Amino acid sequence: MSTRAMIAVRRKDSFYDAAYLHFDGYPEHTGETLMQHHNTQTAAETLIAGGELRCLDRKTGTPERFANTRPPAILPTHDSLIEFAKNCGAQYVYVFDDGAWSCKEL
């Protein structure tokens, strides 16, 4: 069974860009990988800009994407991000904001 997650970046205009992650969304994998390999605003934005993710390589942080990857969702509020994540079946939501990652279990 997959541990799904939503990975998001808060933009300067306070909107969120968010990408669904299908596999290994738990903090010991995705949380650590994000903090190690995608720990700047630019790196986080670049990761999300590619759209949906199948998984993240733990050693390199390289994303693996689906062949028919959907673009990132643009959400106006934190509440809408959480609702979107729930509708996607996400168990965790990761948000890069103010220079750091946070994780919320749903």
Predicted pLDDT of residue 2: 85
Which pLDDT score, from 0 to 100, does residue 77 have? 98
Residues 42 and 26: their CA atoms lie apart, in Å, by 23
Which pLDDT score is estimated for 43?
97
Sign of the Cα pseudo-torsion (53, 13, 34, 90, in order): negative
pLDDT per residue as tens, the chain (106 positions)? 689 999 999 999 999 999 999 999 999 999 999 999 999 999 999 999 999 999 999 999 999 999 899 999 999 999 999 999 999 999 999 999 999 999 999 9
The pLDDT value given to residue 1: 62
Q: Give the range of the structural domain holding residue 98, as residue numbers without chain letter.
A: 5-105
Q: What is the number of structural domains in the chain?
A: 1
Whole-structure pTM over 0.85, yes or no? yes
Are 7 and 29 spatial neighbours (Cβ–Cβ below 8 Å)? Answer: no
Cα–Cα dist 29/78, whole Å: 23
